[in-house]
Amino acid sequence: MDLFETFLNFDVLARTWPMLVKGLWLTLKLGVASILAGLVLGLILCLTRLYAIAPLRWLTRAYIDIFRSIPLLVLLIVVYYALPFVGVRLSAFVSAMAALTLVSGAYTAEIFRAGIEAVPKGQFEASAALGLNHRQTMTDVILPQSIRVVIPPLTNNSINVIKDTALASVVAMPDLLKQATQAQALTANPTPLIGAAAIYLAFLLPAVLLVSRLERRMNRGQV
């Protein structure tokens, strides 16, 4: 049997391409929505962890540690299959987005914290001495300086979120991977899977290379 016929069958690819594109669209929607929601959640968690009253600080810290430890697949299955038992029935998309956001938020919080802690103490002191309050200090002085430090790890985290969207196929969400496996079943040919792998790579490889470049630039010392 010809390897090309099996794994790179252009006829099969052409026939299943619309399915893959539909899956890709859903994957991107899920990924981008989860990344954005994770950023908001992460910023809130980070500021709470650093500056709130002690009990809230402990709670967010516990949250962050737990959600960085739990396997995403487990969380996803809990949200999708276990919550209905207590009457919470979420769609596949919302379940996947919730799981991705909860975890991404925990990682993002730690990234923001490192970014804030990378800003020298003197910047806080100069702000305080000028009479800026805490909120003004954060928005006008500290966070703008943190942004540059956090961009490479945030991009990294975003790559991970996009990759993890593939797990949503286990809750029957027709994302890129799910569409590819279905196309494979329909055509009795693995080419759609190869196609899906190529699409993931086309999106994520440039992002990975971008992170390396950013990191190299930061290491050369302009922070």
Partner 1 sequence: MAGYISIKNLQKYYGTFHALKGIDLEIAQGEVVCVIGPSGSGKSTLIRCINRLEPFSNDSAITVDGVPVVPGRSLAKVRAEVGMVFQNFNLFPHLTVRENIMLAPRRVRGTPRAEAQGLADRLLARVGLSEQGDKYPSGLSGGQQQRVAIARALAMEPQVLLFDEPTSALDPEMVGEVLDVMRDLARTGVTMVVVTHEMGFARQVADRVIFMDGGAVVEAAPPETLFSAPVEQRTRNFLHAVLDH
Binding site for partner 1 (CB under 8 A): 120, 122-123, 125-126, 128-133, 136, 140-141, 144-145
In the complex, least distance from residue 121 CB atom to partner 1, rounded to whole angstroms: 9
Pick between residue 139 and residue 212 the one whose CB is nearest to partner 1: 139
Pick between residue 145 and residue 155 the one whose CB is nearest to partner 1: 145
In the complex, least distance from residue 135 CB atom to partner 1, rounded to whole angstroms: 10
Q: Classify residue 22 as exposed, middle or buried by CB count within 10 Å of its CB (0-12, 13-18, 19+).
A: middle
CB 179 within 8 Å of CB 20: yes
Q: Please name the residue that has the structure tokens 């938020």.
A: 105
Pick between residue 57 and residue 148 the one whose CB is nearest to partner 1: 148
In the complex, least distance from residue 112 CB atom to partner 1, rounded to whole angstroms: 17
Pick between residue 69 and residue 133 the one whose CB is nearest to partner 1: 133
Pick between residue 143 and residue 199 the one whose CB is nearest to partner 1: 143
In the complex, least distance from residue 137 CB atom to partner 1, rounded to whole angstroms: 9
In the complex, least distance from residue 222 CB atom to partner 1, rounded to whole angstroms: 9
Per-residue CA distances from 83 to 60, 62, 76, 77, 89 (Å)? 22, 21, 10, 9, 6
Pick between residue 145 and residue 181 the one whose CB is nearest to partner 1: 145
In the complex, least distance from residue 107 CB atom to partner 1, rounded to whole angstroms: 25
